[in-house]
Structure 1
Amino acid sequence: MKAHHITPPIALTIAGSDSGGGAGIQADLRAFMAFRVHGCSALSCVTAQNTCGVDRVDPIPPAGLEAQLQAIQNDLAVDALKTGMLLNAELIQTTAELLRHWTIPKVIDPVMVSRTGAVLLEADAIAALRQNLLPLATLLTPNRHEARLLSGHELNNDSDTEKAAAIIHAQGPAAVLIKSGSDRSQGGRDLLFNGQPHWLEEGTWVDTPHTHGTGCTLSAAVTAGLALGQDLEEAIARAREYVKRGLKQALAIGQGQGPICHWVEIRDIKESD
C-alpha cells in the first residue's frame, strides 16, 4: 500500500516544560495537534512541577535555545509561533533576535507567575520583555496580573482594564488580549485591544477548580488558528471556545489543580459558538 502523505501547517512553541503535563510545552503541543497543526518546539526551561505547584525551574543555556530555533528554521516552514515561559533577560533577548527574522504571526504569552505564586519571569526580565518581544507580537496574551505588571496600572474595573490595555498596546504589540483567567468576578470576559477596546463575552461560567494550563492552551490554540490561515478575530474566537470545552471536561488528576482536557472535538467549533 502506498503511503498517503500530507503537508499540514506548522506551529512553533518556545516555552518551558511542565513535568506534570498540564501546561507549557506539553499543553501547547496537545492544542496544536487538536487543531491538526504539526507542532514543533524549542525548550526554554525545565520545571519540576505537578498539580500542586512548581518546585524548581532550570533555564536552558541561551546557546541551547538558539540552536533549537536555528535547527527548526533551517528545515521547517513554520506558519505561526508562540512564546511562553522565558524566565530571564538572556533567553528573551536570544529569542527576540531570532524572531525578528521571521515574518509570520507571533503570539507572545508573557508568562510571569504561576497560579500558585511561583516566579516564572525574573524581575529584571520585564524590561527585556517590553523592549525586545512586545514590539514583535501579532498578539500579546497577558492575564490580569501580567497586564498590571506590564502597564503599571491597576485593573479594578472595565475602564481601568481598557486603560491598561492601551498602555500595553502603545509598547508595540499589534493587538493585546487581556484574559480574565480564573477571576470569577469577570465572568470569563476577555478584552481584545487593537487600537479600540472590544469586550469578548464568555457567556456561561464554567465552574471547575481544574484550570491548569488554560493560559498556555489559549495562546497555543490562537497560534494554531493563525497557522491555519484564520484571521486574528476568528482564531481568538475558536481558541476561546476550545478552552471553554476543555474546562467543561477538565481532568481531576493529582492532589491539586488538574489541567483542562485536550480530548475536545474541534470540528464543530465555529466563530459563532
Structure 2
Amino acid sequence: MTNSRLYWAAMDGWTMTRRSIKHIVREKESLMMAIGLPVAIMIMFVAVFGGAIQTGTDYVNYVVPGVIITCAGFGSSIIAVSVTQDMIGGLFERLRSMPLHPSSLMVGHVIGGFVRNAIATTVVILVALLIGFQPEAGVVEWLGVIGILTLFMLSLNWLFVVFGLLVKNVETANAITFPMLFLPYVSSAFVPTETMPSWLHTFAENQPMTPLIETLRGLLLGTPIGTNLWLSIAWFGGLLIISFIVATILFKKRKTE
C-alpha cells in the first residue's frame, strides 16, 4: 500500500512537473528575463565598474560566482508568483476534485523552477566565458559546483513555494521575494567585504550568501574555501528542510479551508 501511494505521488508529481516545463517553453518572456537580467548585471559590472574595483584578480573572474547566485535567485523568485496564481486562480480547487495527489502541485513548481534555473545558469556561464571568465576547475570541482548549486536552488525553490502559499495576491508574492534577491548585493558577490563599512561588513560576512559565493569561487578559481563549504551546506540544507516542512504544513492548511 505504501509503495502504491509513493508511486501515485511520484507520477502525479511528474505530471505537474511537465506542466511547469511546458509553461517555461510557452512563457518565453519569463525565461528570457531570468537569463537576460543576470547577464546584463554581469556585463554592466565588468564593463563599468571592473576597472575601478580591485579584487586581486581579473574582475570578471571575481564577479561571475556572484552573478550565478543572482541568476539562480531571480529564477526561483518566479515560483512564488506561479504558486500564488495557482492558489487564487482555481487550479488548486480543481485538483481537489481530480484523482491527483494535491502536493504534486508544489513538486511540479519546484522541479520546473529548477529546470528554468539550470537553463539560465548555463547560459550565464557560457556568456561569462565569452567575455573573459577563466575558471580553473577540473571535473571534480565542476561536480562540486553542480552539487552546491543544486542544494541552493532547491532550498530557494521550496522557500518561494512557502512565500507563494502565504500571500493572497500576485503583487504581494512578487514583492515578498525581494529581500532574498537583495542579499547577494550585500555579500562578497561584487566587492570584497573588507571594503564595506564595519557594520555592513559584519552583516555581509555572516549572512548565508557570502560562504556560498566563496565556495563557488574556490571551486571555480582555486581560492581558499576554508569552512565556507560546510557553512553553505548547513545554511541551505537547513533552509531546504525547514522550507519543505513549512510548505507541507501550509499546503495541508489550505486543503482544509
Same fold (TM over 0.5): no
Q: Which has the larger radius of gyration?
A: 2
Task: Give the TM-score taking structure 2 as reference length.
Answer: 0.29
Q: Which has the higher contact order (CA 8 A, sep 6+)?
A: 2
Q: TM-score, normalised by structure 1?
A: 0.28
